[in-house]
A and B are shown apart, each in its own frame.
Chain A
Amino acid sequence: MSNLQVSVYRYNPETDSAPYMQEFQVDTKGRDLMVLDVLHLMKEQDSALAFRRSCREGVCGSDGMNMNGKNGLACITPLSEVIKGNKLVLRPLPGLPVIRDMVVDMGLFYKQYERIQPYLQNDTPAPAIERLQSPEDREKLDGLYECILCACCSTACPSFWWNPEKFVGPAGLLQSYRFLVDTRDTATQERLSELEDPFSVFRCRGIMNCVAVCPKGLNPTRAIGKIREMLLAEAT
Chain B
Amino acid sequence: MSNLRSLTFDAIIIGGGGSGLRAALELAKSGKKTAVLSKVFPTRSHTVSAQGGITCAIASADPNDDWRWHMYDTVKGGDYIADQDAAEYMCSEGPKAVFELEHMGLPFSRFDNGRIYQRPFGGQSKNFGEGGQAARTCAAADRTGHALLHTLYQNNIKNNTVFLNEWYAVDLVKNAEGDVVGCIAMCIETGEVVHVKSKATVLATGGAGRIYASTTNALINTGDGIGMALRAGFPMQDMEMWQFHPTGIYGAGTLVTEGCRGEGGYLINKDGERFMERYAPNAKDLAGRDVVARSMVMEILEGRGCGEKGDHVFLKLDHLGEEVLGKRLPGIVELSKTFAHVDPAKEPIPVVPTCHYMMGGIPTNVHGQAIMQGEDGKDQIVNGLFACGEAACVSVHGANRLGGNSLLDLVVFGRAAGMFIEGALNAGIEYLDATESDIEAAMARMTRWNESEEGGETVPELKAALQDIMQASFGVFREEENMQKGVKQLAELRERIAKAHLPDKSNTFNTARVEALELDNLMEVAEATAISALERKESRGAHSRYDYPDRDDVNWLKHSLYFPATKQLKKRDVNFKPKTMATLEPKIRTY
**Interface residues, chain A, with chain B CB atoms under 8 Å away:** 12-15, 43-44, 47-48, 50-62, 76, 78, 99-101, 103, 106, 110, 114, 117-120, 122, 126, 128-135, 138, 141, 145-146, 148-149, 179, 182, 184-185
With an 8 A cutoff between CB atoms, is B131 at the interface?
A: no
- A61 with B110: in contact, given A119-B105, A126-B103 (CB under 8 Å)? no
Question: Is there an interface contact between B43 and A149, defined as CB atoms closer than 8 Å?
Answer: yes
In angstroms, Cα B193 to Cα A135, docked, is: 50
- A12 with B110: in contact, given A55-B218, A60-B48, A114-B157 (CB under 8 Å)? no
List CB contacts (< 8 Å) of B393-449 with chain A: none
Residues of A within 8 A of B113 (CB): 132
Other-chain contact of B107, A114, A119, A141 (Cβ < 8 Å): A141
Task: Considering the complex, give the chain A residue whose CB is closest to the CB of B510.
Answer: A50
- A138 with B107: in contact, given A47-B459, A62-B40, A132-B113 (CB under 8 Å)? yes
With an 8 A cutoff between CB atoms, is B174 at the interface?
A: no
With an 8 A cutoff between CB atoms, is B261 at the interface?
A: no
Question: Is there an interface contact between B103 and A61, defined as CB atoms closer than 8 Å?
Answer: no
With an 8 A cutoff between CB atoms, is B154 at the interface?
A: yes
What is the distance, in angstroms, from B57's C-beta to the closest C-beta of chain A?
Answer: 12
With an 8 A cutoff between CB atoms, is B512 at the interface?
A: yes
List CB contacts (< 8 Å) of B178-220 with chain A: 189, 218-220
Other-chain contact of B147, A12, A62, A119, A145 (Cβ < 8 Å): A145
With an 8 A cutoff between CB atoms, is B265 at the interface?
A: no
A-B residue pairs in contact (CB < 8 Å), sample of 23: A12-B506, A14-B508, A43-B512, A50-B511, A56-B218, A57-B339, A60-B44, A60-B48, A60-B218, A62-B40, A62-B41, A76-B338, A106-B41, A126-B103, A129-B115, A130-B99, A130-B102, A134-B110, A135-B110, A135-B112, A145-B107, A148-B48, A182-B107
Residues of B within 8 A of A184 (CB): 105
Residues of B within 8 A of A141 (CB): 107
With an 8 A cutoff between CB atoms, is B146 at the interface?
A: yes
Task: Considering the complex, give the chain B residue whose CB is closest to the CB of A138.
Answer: B110
What 0/1 pattern do residues 146 to 164 of B give for CB contact below 8 A with A?
1100110011011000000
Question: Is there an interface contact between A57 and B107, defined as CB atoms closer than 8 Å?
Answer: no
Question: Is there an interface contact between B219 and A119, defined as CB atoms closer than 8 Å?
Answer: no
- A119 with B338: in contact, given A48-B512, A182-B105 (CB under 8 Å)? no
Question: Is there an interface contact between A47 and B503, defined as CB atoms closer than 8 Å?
Answer: yes
Question: Is there an interface contact between A57 and B146, defined as CB atoms closer than 8 Å?
Answer: no
Is chain A's binding surface mostly helix, strand, loop or mixed? loop
In the A-B complex, list the 8 residue pairs whose CB atoms are closest, starting with the nearest.
Answer: A120-B105, A132-B114, A119-B154, A130-B102, A47-B512, A100-B509, A48-B504, A60-B44
Question: Is there an interface contact between B99 and A128, defined as CB atoms closer than 8 Å?
Answer: yes
Question: Is there an interface contact between B114 and A118, defined as CB atoms closer than 8 Å?
Answer: no
The number of chain B residues with a CB under 8 A from chain A is 60
**Apart from A122-B103, A132-B114, A145-B150: 17 A-B pairs, beta carbons within 8 A:** A43-B512, A47-B504, A50-B511, A54-B46, A58-B334, A58-B338, A60-B49, A100-B508, A110-B41, A118-B154, A120-B104, A126-B103, A129-B115, A131-B103, A138-B108, A145-B147, A184-B105
| Most interface-central of A13, A47, A138, A184 (chain B CB within 10 A) | A47
With an 8 A cutoff between CB atoms, is B484 at the interface?
A: no
List CB contacts (< 8 Å) of B248-300 with chain A: 252, 254-255
- A138 with B109: in contact, given A100-B508, A148-B43 (CB under 8 Å)? yes
Residues of A within 8 A of B49 (CB): 55, 57, 59-60
Task: Considering the complex, give the chain B residue whose CB is closest to the CB of A147.
Answer: B150
With an 8 A cutoff between CB atoms, is B232 at the interface?
A: no
| Most interface-central of A55, A62, A122, A148 (chain B CB within 10 A) | A55
With an 8 A cutoff between CB atoms, is B460 at the interface?
A: yes
Question: Is there an interface contact between B158 and A119, defined as CB atoms closer than 8 Å?
Answer: yes
In angstroms, Cα B459 to Cα A44, docked, is: 9
In angstroms, Cα B157 to Cα A224, docked, is: 23
Question: Is there an interface contact between A129 and B110, defined as CB atoms closer than 8 Å?
Answer: no
With an 8 A cutoff between CB atoms, is B226 at the interface?
A: no
Question: Is there an interface contact between A134 and B510, defined as CB atoms closer than 8 Å?
Answer: no
What is the distance, in angstroms, from B459's C-beta to the closest C-beta of chain A?
Answer: 7
Residues of B within 8 A of A48 (CB): 503-504, 506, 510, 512
Other-chain contact of B146, A52, A59, A103, A110 (Cβ < 8 Å): A59
Residues of B within 8 A of A148 (CB): 43, 48, 146
Other-chain contact of B44, A55, A126, A138 (Cβ < 8 Å): A55
In angstroms, Cα B513 to Cα A100, docked, is: 14
Question: Is there an interface contact between B511 and A60, defined as CB atoms closer than 8 Å?
Answer: no
Question: Is there an interface contact between A130 and B116, defined as CB atoms closer than 8 Å?
Answer: yes
In angstroms, Cα B111 to Cα A130, docked, is: 12
Residues of A within 8 A of B111 (CB): 135
In angstroms, Cα B254 to Cα A128, docked, is: 37
